[in-house]
């Protein structure tokens, strides 16, 4: 289902963001990764896929038919019946190359063991999410990082102010637990970009004794896909980890750009600040790098401009 009013005419690239938590035999990983790389390259599909013994997580971009071919290969070779997938569209390739890597975790929390098959919180469908946002007895938590929240979020959501997901457990013990002890919410409702971080976050909370833990099924991307703008409670754009930087409510690239010096997302207002020099610095990193670094950034930007033109504003990406 595509959001009402969304026009995909002229958007020739399809993006698939997907994940699945399942047990994968470590002995097959190398062979599967090589087969996946070869297949993606033949189909001219680009993106990033992470695989571990706990499952698979990725975002890929290409033609609609090529995306289907790669997704079918993943589901068939890994015997995945339930692959959580969100689709969106763009007019340019969202990645520069295809990468597939083996990792310890498909989304890094840094906790040695979390049983995602048994402890995942209950799902809230996007059509019911607004009710939870309006309920004063529900504590809504944005499980993403600070720079993502700055691009857009749901009004009233609790921001953990983390720089990376591995900081989440420490925030839970130092900040969330006292809040829950004081407010005693009926439920804790969590959300993230596509749902994968909430799978682990809700498991961790339940593992640590929290009750009434729920999560937005499919994350922000699924909400934007299914909930009409007229009924939406989403504010801003949704940061994504590719060259599109952020998506608007129609799931097409929005107004944010990346600083090619530090990789932080910048709003149109940020681009107008005196501290901003394209490819060299922004207000996030104005005091972060040396003069030698700045000179190197400037040379790199000139090279990018000559190589690929103005599209170079979106050449860097962060990782969750």
DSSP letter for each residue of 286-313: TTTS-HHHHHHHHHHHHHHHHHHGGGGG
For 46, the enclosing helix (H) or strand (E) is strand 46-52
Phi/psi of residue 179, nearest 5 degrees? -65, -45
Question: 189, 205 in Cβ contact below 8 A?
Answer: no
Q: Which residues pair with 142 in a beta bridge?
A: 191
Give the H or E element holding residue 32: helix 29-42
Q: Catalytic site residues?
A: 192
Burial class of residue 152 (count of CB atoms within 10 Å of its CB; 0-12, 13-18, 19+)? buried
Cα Rg of the chain (Å, integer): 20
Q: Which residues pair with 52 in a beta bridge?
A: 55
Nearest to 37 by CA among 78, 73, 13: 73
């Amino acid at each position: 289902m595509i959001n009402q009013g969304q026009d995909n005419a002229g958007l020739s690239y399809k993006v698939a963001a997907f994940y699945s938590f399942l047990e994968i035999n470590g002995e097959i990983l190398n062979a599967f990764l090589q087969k996946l790389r070869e297949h993606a390259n033949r189909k001219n599909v680009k993106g990033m896929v992470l695989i571990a013994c706990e499952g698979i997580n990725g975002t890929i971009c290409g033609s609609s038919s090529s995306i289907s071919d790669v997704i079918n290969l993943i589901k068939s070779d890994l015997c995945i019946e339930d692959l959580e997938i969100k689709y969106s569209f763009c007019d340019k390739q969202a990645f520069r190359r295809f990468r597939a890597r083996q990792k310890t975790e498909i989304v890094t929390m840094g906790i040695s063991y979390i049983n995602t098959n048994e402890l995942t919180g209950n799902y809230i469908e996007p059509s019911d999410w607004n009710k939870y946002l309006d309920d004063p007895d529900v504590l809504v938590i944005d499980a993403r990082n600070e720079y993502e929240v700055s691009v857009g979020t749901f009004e009233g959501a609790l921001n953990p102010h983390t720089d990376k997901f591995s900081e989440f457990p420490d925030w839970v013990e130092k900040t969330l637990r006292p809040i829950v002890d004081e407010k005693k919410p009926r439920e804790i409702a969590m959300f993230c970009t596509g749902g994968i971080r909430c799978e682990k976050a809700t498991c961790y909370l339940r593992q640590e004794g929290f009750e009434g833990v729920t999560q937005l099924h499919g994350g922000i991307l699924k909400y934007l896909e299914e909930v009409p703008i007229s009924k939406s409670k989403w504010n801003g754009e949704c940061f994504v980890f590719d060259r599109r930087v952020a998506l608007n409510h129609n799931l097409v690239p929005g107004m944010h750009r990346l600083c090619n010096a530090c990789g932080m997302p910048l709003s149109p207002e940020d681009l107008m600040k005196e501290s901003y020099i394209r490819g060299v610095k922004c207000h996030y990193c104005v005091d972060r790098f040396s003069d030698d670094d700045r000179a190197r950034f400037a040379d790199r930007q000139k090279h990018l401009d000559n190589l690929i033109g103005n599209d170079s504003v979106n050449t860097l990406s962060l990782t969750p």
